[in-house]
Structure 1
Amino acid sequence: MKTILMALIAGFMIKPALAQDIDVKVDTRQLEASVERIAETAVEHVMAGFGDAHHSKSEKLQEQSTQEVEIPLTNPGERGTLKVYSRNGRIKIVGYDGRTVKVKMIRYGKKVSKSSDKNGMRLISNGGFNFEASEQNNNVKVENEGWNNRVDFEIQVPKNFDLKVESYNNGHIDVEGVDGELDLESYNGPITMTNISGSASASTYNGAVKAIFTSVTADVPMNFDTYNGDVDITVPGGTKFSTKMKTNREIYTDFESFNLIQTKPTRNRDPRRGGTSIKIENWVQGDLNGGGAEVTMKTRNGNIYIRRG
């Protein structure tokens, strides 16, 4: 891989040298940016291939065991809050027309062996679930602290619920059909929100952030942040917000009523040493339908999309 990237870089670097001989102007900054983008894309594709192969191989060596619990609410029918903390595993939360919180846990472990090894021993169990749940006044907490064994959560909550979700390894977070304030954070995995209403804040490192709103709470700031992946937001046509966006790639929208605003420099004075510093940050600002609450969208290796629902 390193050899291929070095060859690509060398190919680009030859062009400026030739250009100098024939007196052609070449923007080396643009060439460097192109090389960086090619390198990033190549690495992403290679790592994705390794990841797929790794998961496919590991899944063949694993088996699943499931367990389900139902958590009653102190005040059924009233708004509640669900907090989920997982160190290793995917989390899927779906809103439903119910009055309890239903939790399904899927635990992954080594396949139980029917034959003995060379020492005359065979695997008969991978142990139990490392799981804890609590409820108080419609505040529900679900937690899995285990790092070594992956446990996926499939959770059903009443539709009028607020969510605070944190996941780390295998940290895909998927939320569907929930009306509330959503605070989602992952490290290794995309975050997807479908047919949600209310407000949301979503942050991850590896993976895209995607949200499809049926309605957006007015005057509530929101944030969508990733390092590797697209930020893709869909809102109803009449939604109003002001946005700050940052990316090394492109920004797209199908809203005709989206207007860009020129970024203004910031001035700072240092009273101790004297003098003034002027700074223009690499943010793109704009207003949707005249502007409103601030919505921040940020990615390094991905595009930003603002779609009309």
Structure 2
Amino acid sequence: MKTIKISLLILLFNILFINAQYLKGEKKYNQVETIEEEYQFLEQSPDNIVVIDNVYGSIDVEGYNGKTIKIEVVKKVSADTKQDVAEGMQEIGVKSSKKGDAVYIYMDSPYSKFDLETGNFQHHEFNFGSRRNYKHRKKRMYKYRLDFKVKVPKNVSIDVKAINKGNITIDNVHGKLLIVHNVNGAIDMTNVSGQTDVNALNKDINITYAKNPTKESWFKSLNGDINVLFKNGLNAEISYKTMNGNFYTNFDVEKTTPQVSKIKQNSKRGVKYKLNKRKNFKIGNGKIPFHFDQLNGDAIVKK
């Protein structure tokens, strides 16, 4: 009798657990597929760049001593029915395009569009032809994510962007230009060098440089902290703007005069002068402009 009661309790627990997972948004069926591809540039050039666009999922990029771009993408689709899973597996994928010295790798879906002429990737959840098409839209009945692992020649430039449910990591990349943007995930970059443009809207940015940038660079985060480890001998003209955060550094700094801009007026009062609200100071000889923009986070610059 006790055995029957215990079995019934276990069965009841399993049912409650499954229902709880379902209520949290877990889907009943899921399928996983690994996509592996290799690409080469149409032409070898110091300006070679790899562009990666993802919507749901992470992107990990590693530089290595080779000439081939290697990708491994884990695709996961989940839904409440097998039919919806099958539809998602068919609709969601990875595509690539080449033009000049650039290789473009991007998520492919009914909601995505890539323009090779401009290199522009767009994603809209519903594939509207126009606003009046709303009556004929089709709701997506499955969830999906693509997790990218990419190996690139270590001296190429990169332009990497993600939006939801994933972080971006960059390791051992030393291109002319490092563009890394993430909306709802963090950015971690280690052993990197090159002109930098990073933007993590809601999470932290962590960067460790193998060589300090020698060209103007931008570091932006709305709600996260920016942590940057530079090499000794940094020469930077820092401009910093924040609402609720602070700037910390163990470099020796020297305050500089705030920039003043002229605003033309139509009245007879002449020219109005406006003081720049950014904080300005220099490290070393202050040759290279670095821009830090935040709302709620702190910037921590160390050597």
Using a 3 Å threshold, how does the CA distance of structure 1 residues 266 and 136 change in structure 2: closer, same or farther?
closer
Match of 1:254 in 2: 250
Aligned to 2:294: 299
Q: Closer, same or farther in 2 for the Cα pair 1:258/1:103, shift >3 Å?
A: same
More helix by share: 1
Q: What residue number does 1:187 align with?
A: 183
Deviation, 1:63, is 5.0
- Please report how far the alpha carbon of residue 277 of structure 1 lies from its aligned counterpart in structure 2 after TM superposition: 3.4
Residue-pair matches, total = 246
Aligned-pair CA distance for 1:172: 2.2
Distance 1:76 1:66 in 2: 29
Aligned equivalent of 1:166: 161
Pick closer, same or farther for the CA change 1:124–1:64 going to 2, 3 Å. Answer: closer
1:39-78 pair list within 5 angstroms: 58=26, 64-75=32-43
Percent same amino acid at aligned positions? 21
In 2, the alpha carbon distance for the partners of 1:67 and 1:187 equals 25
1:84 maps to amino acid: I
- Equivalent residue number for residue 204 of structure 2: 208
Change (3 A) 1:282 1:77: closer
Query: Is the Cα contact below 8 Å between 2:28 and 2:78 reproduced in 1?
Result: no
Change (3 A) 1:134 1:288: same
1:156 CA displacement? 0.4
Matches of 1:225 and 1:246, distance apart in 2: 10
* 2:50 aligned partner, one-letter code: L
Q: Is the 8 A contact 2:43 2:101 kept in 1?
A: yes
Pick from 228, 233, 246: which aligns with 1:233?
228
Match of 2:54 among 86, 109, 116: 86
Q: Any gaps of 5 or more consecutive residues in structure 1?
A: 1-52, 114-120
- Residue of structure 2 equivalent to 1:127: 89
Q: Compute the displacement of 1:237 (Å).
A: 0.6
Q: Deviations over 1:28-76 (max 9, x none)?
A: xxxxxxxxxxxxxxxxxxxxxxxxx99x975997553211111133456
Partner amino acid, structure 2, of 1:141: Y
Whole-angstrom distance in 1 between the partners of 2:28 and 2:285: 53
Provide structure 2 residue ranges, at least 5 long, that are not aligned to the other structure.
1-20, 110-124, 126-142
Measured at CA, do residues 237 and 57 of structure 1 come closer, stay the same or move farther in structure 2, by a change above 3 Å? Answer: farther
Displacement of 1:150 in angstroms is 1.6
SS of 1:131 mapped into structure 2:
strand
Q: Say whether residues 1:279 and 2:302 are aligned partners.
A: no
Query: Relative to structure 1, is the Cα distance of residues 306 and 184 closer, same or farther in structure 2, using a 3 angstrom cutoff?
Result: same
Hey, what does 2:6 align to over in structure 1? none
Q: How does 1:110-125 map to 2 (within 5 A)?
A: 110=78, 125=86
Tell me the secondary structure at the aligned position of residue 152 of structure 1.
strand
TM superposition score normalised by structure 2: 0.71
Moved over 6 A (4+): 121-124
CA distance in 1, matches of 2:288, 2:27: 44
Residue range with higher mean Cα deviation, 126-135 or 175-184: 126-135
The TM-score normalised by the length of structure 1 is 0.70
CA distance in 1, matches of 2:31, 2:59: 18
Contact residue 71 and residue 135 of structure 1 kept, 8 A:
no
Structure-2 residue corresponding to 1:157: 152
Deviations 1:202-250 (A, max 9, x none): 11311112221111242x1100111010111111111211010112221
Letter in 1 for 2:35: Q
Shift of residue 123 of structure 1? 7.0
Aligned-residue CA RMSD (Å): 2.9
| Superposition deviation, residue 87 in structure 1 | 2.2
Q: Secondary structure at the match of 1:127?
A: helix
CA contact (8 A) 1:231 1:298 kept: no
**Structure 1 residues 296 and 138: alpha-carbon distance in aligned structure 2, compared to 1, 3 A threshold:** same
Distance 1:105 1:143 in 2: 11
Conserved 8 A contact 2:75-2:147:
yes
Q: Secondary structure at the match of 1:179?
A: coil
Other structure's SS at 1:295 match: strand
Aligned equivalents of 1:132 and 1:66: distance in 2? Answer: 14
